[in-house]
Amino acid sequence: MSDYEPDIARLIERDDTEWLRVQREYQGRLYSFVRRRVRDRDACEDVLQETFLGAIRGIAGFDPRYSFEQYLFGILRNRTIDHLRRQRALQFGGQFGGQFAGDTDEGAAIEDLVREEQTPLTLRERSDLDQRGSELLAEVLREWVQETWTEREFRRLMVIEALFSAGWRNRDAWEQLGLRDQTTVAGVKFRALKRMRELTAAVDARGECSAQLAESLSEEPGQVSIDVAQVWRRFRVSCPARHWLARRLAGSLDAGMAEFVDFHIDAAGCPWCAANRDDLAQRSRENELEAMFERVGASTMRLLRSRGEPGAGGEKLPPDPIS
């Protein structure tokens, strides 16, 4: 299965064919993401529709540092939060404000979404140096992940993702990943950090952020502005491509790869890959969703064929994390 990336220039020109392909390619995984957080099916449809309309309005401001999937998921994430906040306000009649946000399903879902990762909008509010440092750190992490995947060291990859992204302690990784002891975990971390610091020189040839990156990738980082866990999640450095998820569902991955994919989604809790997996798994039930997708498509086409200028509406920034 290919990992489709649309022609952004054609999308900016509101090319009907390209936008319809975007909708066909992405609607299932976007719907799966919403369905995990919003109970009402009609509300899920509304959020999905608002996402595609927002994507059309904002495509002129697309940031090429991020994938188109990240762009869509970022808009979807924001629309989902908006819906959940409206539902919470209706439930409490506005009398409690945000005081008891976590006491309801909607409140808990909002908190989870807000914690998951920051958005490129947040990045733009930071200093240029911090932003550049985050991007360079993402390159270092991606390079390390790619090397580790190529070497088929999937258990090593699981340990580092658990420590760096999921926030596990050494003891958690030792016990849950079946390692010999905590010393083994510490050794994996030490060697990974050493290699990442070596990779830093390659991605930061001009030495713009070397000190920041070295501090972030030290054994005991101090008060630095670049958070490794946030960068790992926001840039989705370890997310398997969609075709790997398809192969996992088909049972055609070897044991090591399959174990990592399952760990990444179920233990590390990647919401984006979970949505992709759900979408792939429910393709056999596609007819059940077809009517809803047709309605969303009709709404998309009405906007594309309207007289509005491309990019009108102010929806310009992608979110944040992933692949």
The answer to whether residues 270 and 297 belong to one domain is no
Structural domain including 239 reads 124-274
- What integer pLDDT is reported at residue 105 of this predicted model? 55
Label residues 91-127 b or e (16+ Cβ within 10 Å = b). Answer: ebeeeeeeeebeeeebbebbeebeebbbbbeebeeee
Q: Give every residue of the chain whose pLDDT is below 70, as ranges.
A: 1-2, 91-129, 220-225, 284-289, 307-323
Q: What is the pLDDT of residue 300?
A: 86
Tokens at residue 5, please? 């990336």
Residues 194 and 270 reside in one and the same domain: yes
What is the residue type of 196? M
With respect to residue 315, please indicate whether it lies within any of the assigned structural domains: no
Given this model, what pLDDT does residue 109 score? 55
User: Does any domain span residue 3?
Assistant: no
d(CA 273, CA 236): 10
Residue 266 DSSP code:
I
Would residue 227 count as lying in a domain? yes
Euclidean distance between CA atoms 235 and 7, whole angstroms: 21
Handedness of CA 99, 104, 106, 108 (dihedral sign): positive
**Which candidate, 101, 73, 74, places its Cα nearest to that of 87?**
101
Cβ contacts of 231 within 8 Å, gap of 6 or more = 134, 137, 138, 141, 237
Q: What pTM, to 2 d.p., does this model score? A: 0.66
Tens-place pLDDT, residues 273-308: 999 999 888 875 665 567 778 888 888 888 888 755
Q: Is residue 251 part of a domain?
A: yes
> Domain check: are 133 and 104 in the same one?
no
* pLDDT value of residue 112: 57
| CA distance readout (Å), 72 to 57, 102, 139 | 12, 26, 22
User: What's residue 202's pLDDT?
Assistant: 85
pLDDT tens-place string over residues 146-173: 999 999 999 999 999 999 999 999 999 9
22 and 102, same domain (yes or no): yes
Same-domain status, 174 and 239? yes
Tokens matching residue 125: 């509010």
Which pLDDT score, from 0 to 100, does residue 31 have? 93
pLDDT of residue 93: 54
159 and 48 in one domain? Answer: no
264 and 288 together in one domain: no
**Domain count across the chain:** 2
**47 and 139: one domain?**
no
Is 317 part of a structural domain of the chain?
Answer: no
pLDDT digits (tens, 9 = 90+) for 94-112: 443 443 334 445 545 555 5
